[in-house]
Amino acid sequence: MTDNRPSQGNEPDRYTRAAADAAHDLGQFWLSAARDIDWENRPRDPFHERTDGTADWFPGASINTAYNALDRHVAAGNGDRAALVYVSPLTGREETITYAHLLDDVRRAAGALSRLGVGVGDRVLVYLPMIPEAVVTMLACARLGAVHAVVFGGFGSAELAVRIDDARPTVIVTATGGLEPGRTVPYLPLLDAALEEAGHCPRHVIVVDRPEVPPPPDRVVVWPADEWAEHDWGELLASAGPVDPVPVPSAAPLYILYTSGTTGLPKGVVRDNGGHAVAMAWCMRHVYGVEPGDVVFAASDIGWVVGHSFIVYGPLIVGATTVLFEGKPVGTPDAGAFWDIVERYRVNVLLTAPTAMRAVRREDPNGTMLAERDLSSLRGLFLAGERLDPDTQRWLGEVQSSPVINNWWQTETGWPVISNFLGLTYYEPRPGSSTKPVPGFTVEILGPDGDPVPQGREGAVCLRLPLPPGALIGIWGDEGRLAQTYLTEHPGFYSSGDGGCIDADGYVYILGRTDDVMNVAGHRMSSGQIEAAISEHPGVAECAVVGVRDELKGQRPHAILVPAIDYTDRTGELQSDVATLVRNRVGPIASLGGVHVVGALPKTRSGKIVRRCLRQLLDGADPDVPPTIENPAVVADLVRILDTRRANDPARRGNT
């Protein structure tokens, strides 16, 4: 097995120098980075600071993001380079689209949208599966200076309706349906129901016809024809003429992205054009080590921030090739799906979520499918979106040779805040740590009083203002919500909502959401530190720890775990082992109040475990199931399991 890990001696001062430059003069640091972007009017000033401490980046400059992603590469003679590789095991279709071909599609799609009245600042809601038309639509909006709002394909009609009312799109682009292993998901009935419920009516709906999901034969369009029109994607583009890119101010919105896992009013994170383009170019080169012609495979969905940043914009802005995958980590066809793509398309950087890797490990614990493939092209495997447990990180390091990099960021930040670096200095990884702050971000760990906590002590992970380019510039339609949600708890800082600590060498450890902190007999402890101990057991495929009400201690930690295949018939042994492991690793204060073995954990579509839902179940309350949950049947199964256990154990009736 070829060792793809970078040498520890590769210019060890590059990270230190970049971090020092950013700390010394943040504005000049990003003005220098802005030279990698083509501007209509180049920036002269780095940023304008607002009264709340946030920043408008590159005031007075103008830009077109789609031009930077496509036109400039074709103009430089790279039109024949692969821009997009589409792989769909669900349809058996694979297609490689060059930069010249993608540019042509985007120019005509922009022309079609323009004919329907879409212009600068207008919103286009994108409700599409993982197909090339989704990428084309996003870039076409950017070409016109319009604002796209991508909603995860197959999202329920009620949640789709509130996003339609919030974004108030001129046009909605959808498809007849999406595909899942063993089933189809018709989109048109969901969209029709959403339009009937929503107060806002778009002028036009464009439908991409997918032969695998024909429209319902008895479909009745609920809106009067004189209020809006429905168009076929293919027919519309066939008659459309190309349009040139429209320059917009740097601070003009590029997109709205609604965060997952929330309840109540939708929270539409707004990203700008200029700051975002600069951040993507810098990040691709310095965090991920990606250069023009490299191949990037972000195994995510365009409905999430990873898809926006690292399926669509980041790779294309630097002139790389991006993989668009319509499939799952397992089941399409098996746990070797990701490795097959890496081998066939010579992928250099793979981005995915820890959940995906845990699913792969559960199906292929010895890495047999991985070992059968040539992964020599792979230079790094980046995991984000949730906590990477040390056991999964260790396993990945054993079964393949490229660096396994745990990086931390959020929808709001748009790109990594804490990471290891393939383009700067690669540090020896430490289990449980996301390594070091990305230059441009200042990470501090604050206590409840707002003061920095001592080294190694857990506190709130906060980012000093102003945030660098590429971070959110606001919440759509609610001017004060950015400050109210993120900036008021610790003035001068962005509050991430996560807890963590920093060790003596500057390594940062993210320990989970601060609302997952338990108060056990007066001791505050995070679910993350207990989950790390539990994950050491070879019989645990996945786990979650939540604090459950306890009359004596206030709260006691309970573990909910999914067994590895070899332990599905050994649950009693597993429960005993895990309880002992936690006492030995964390201490008697963390003694588990219960160990619950289940078939699956409830998660949002982005892969986040719904801990609040688990906490409510274990407290005996009706679960508040979020609308973004991927597997609602799992919650019903958990209710049945826990009710049965309470009924069979008199000591636990009324108190889990």
What tens digit of pLDDT does each residue of 316-370 get? 999 999 999 999 999 999 999 999 999 999 999 999 998 899 889 989 999 999 9
The DSSP element (H or E) to which 160 belongs, if any, is helix 157-167
DSSP state for residue 603 in the 8-state scheme: B
Query: Which residues, listed in sequence order, are joined to residue 97 by a DSSP beta bridge?
Result: 84
Tokens of 307: 């898809």
The yes-or-no verdict on residue 184 having pLDDT over 70 is: yes
Give pLDDT, residue 655: 36
Q: Which residue has the higher pLDDT, 154 or 457?
A: 457
52, 482 in Cβ contact below 8 A? yes
Q: How far apart are CA 154 and CA 471, in angstroms?
A: 27
The yes-or-no verdict on residue 556 having pLDDT over 90 is: no
pTM of the model: 0.85
Banded pLDDT at 227 (limits 50, 70, 90): low
297, 347 in Cβ contact below 8 A? yes
pLDDT digits (tens, 9 = 90+) for 393-403: 999 999 999 99
Q: Which residue has the tokens 């929808």?
A: 411
Segment 450-473 mean pLDDT: 96
C-alpha distances in angstroms, 237 versus 108, 114, 225, 384, 469?
6, 11, 21, 37, 34
| Residue 600 exposure: Cα atoms within 13 Å on the Cβ side | 16
Give pLDDT, residue 2: 56
Segment 410-421 mean pLDDT: 96
Segment 247-269 mean pLDDT: 82
Query: Which residues, listed in sequence order, are joined to residue 295 by a DSSP beta bridge?
Result: 321
How, if at all, do strands 295-298 and 321-325 pair? parallel
547, 557 in Cβ contact below 8 A? yes
pLDDT digits (tens, 9 = 90+) for 469-513: 999 999 999 989 999 999 999 999 999 999 999 999 999 999 877
Q: How far apart are CA 188 and CA 196, in angstroms?
A: 12
Residue 649 CB: number of other CB atoms within 10 A?
10
Tokens of 79: 């039109």
The yes-or-no verdict on residue 593 having pLDDT over 60 is: yes
Q: Is 239 exposed, middle or buried (0-12, 13-18, 19+ CB in 10 A)?
A: exposed
Give pLDDT, residue 224: 54
The yes-or-no verdict on residue 607 having pLDDT over 90 is: no
Lowest mean pLDDT among 3-7, 267-271, 468-472, 539-543: 3-7
How, if at all, do strands 248-249 and 62-63 pair? antiparallel
403, 429 in Cβ contact below 8 A? yes
Q: Is 419 exposed, middle or buried (0-12, 13-18, 19+ CB in 10 A)?
A: buried
Q: Which residue has the higher pLDDT, 621 or 641?
A: 621
The yes-or-no verdict on residue 264 having pLDDT over 80 is: no
Taking CB atoms within 8 Å and a gap of at least 24, the contacts of 420-423 are 421/14, 421/15, 421/286, 421/287, 421/289, 422/6, 422/287, 422/288, 422/289, 422/349, 422/379, 422/380, 423/285, 423/286, 423/287, 423/288, 423/289, 423/290
The DSSP element (H or E) to which 317 belongs, if any, is helix 314-317
| 91 phi and psi angles, rounded to 5 deg | -115, -10
Q: How far apart are CA 390 and CA 508, in angstroms?
A: 14
Average pLDDT of the chain is 90
- Our measurement of the distance from residue 640's CA atom to the centroid of its chain's CA atoms, rounded to an integer in Å, reads 31
Segment 567-591 mean pLDDT: 85
Q: Which residue has the higher pLDDT, 266 or 110?
A: 110
DSSP-derived 3-state class of residue 293: coil
The shares of helix, strand and coil residues in the chain, as percent rounded to the nearest 5, are: 35, 25, 40
Residue 259 CB: number of other CB atoms within 10 A?
18
39, 460 in Cβ contact below 8 A? no
pLDDT digits (tens, 9 = 90+) for 137-166: 999 999 999 999 999 887 788 889 989 999
Q: Which residue has the higher pLDDT, 196 or 523?
A: 196
Q: How far apart are CA 415 and CA 471, in angstroms?
A: 8
The yes-or-no verdict on residue 533 having pLDDT over 90 is: no
**Of the candidates 189, 173, 114, the residue with the CA atom closest to the CA atom of residue 138:** 173
**What is the dihedral angle through the alpha carbons of 162, 167, 168, 171, rounded to the nearest 10 degrees?**
-110
Q: How far apart are CA 295 and CA 323, in angstroms?
A: 8
433, 419 in Cβ contact below 8 A? no
228, 201 in Cβ contact below 8 A? yes
Give pLDDT, residue 261: 38
Tokens of 472: 């959110």
**Of the candidates 575, 589, 509, 578, the residue with the CA atom closest to the CA atom of residue 547:** 589
The yes-or-no verdict on residue 522 having pLDDT over 70 is: no
Counting residues of the chain whose pLDDT is more than 70, the rounded percentage is: 90
Would you list the domain boundaries of the chain? 13-500, 521-652
Banded pLDDT at 385 (limits 50, 70, 90): confident
Segment 237-264 mean pLDDT: 87
Give pLDDT, residue 226: 59
381, 403 in Cβ contact below 8 A? yes
- The architecture (CATH level 2) of 521-652 comes to 2-Layer Sandwich (3.30)
Counting residues of the chain whose pLDDT is more than 90, the rounded percentage is: 69
Give pLDDT, residue 16: 96
363, 103 in Cβ contact below 8 A? no
The yes-or-no verdict on residue 459 having pLDDT over 90 is: yes
The yes-or-no verdict on residue 225 having pLDDT over 60 is: no
Q: How far apart are CA 461 and CA 446, in angstroms?
A: 7
The DSSP element (H or E) to which 563 belongs, if any, is strand 554-563
Give pLDDT, residue 628: 63
- The fold for domain 13-500 equals Rossmann fold (3.40.50)
Give pLDDT, residue 479: 87
pLDDT digits (tens, 9 = 90+) for 633-655: 777 777 776 666 555 554 443 33
Handedness of CA 193, 268, 263, 357 (dihedral sign): positive
Banded pLDDT at 517 (limits 50, 70, 90): low
Give pLDDT, residue 619: 82
Q: Is 62 exposed, middle or buried (0-12, 13-18, 19+ CB in 10 A)?
A: buried
Query: Which residues, listed in sequence order, are joined to residue 230 by a DSSP beta bridge?
Result: 205
**Of the candidates 34, 544, 565, the residue with the CA atom closest to the CA atom of residue 317:** 34
DSSP state for residue 527 in the 8-state scheme: H
Banded pLDDT at 89 (limits 50, 70, 90): very high
Exposure string over 422-459, b if 16+ CB within 10 A, otherwise e: bbbbbbebbbbbbbbbbbbbbbbbbeeeeeebeeeebb
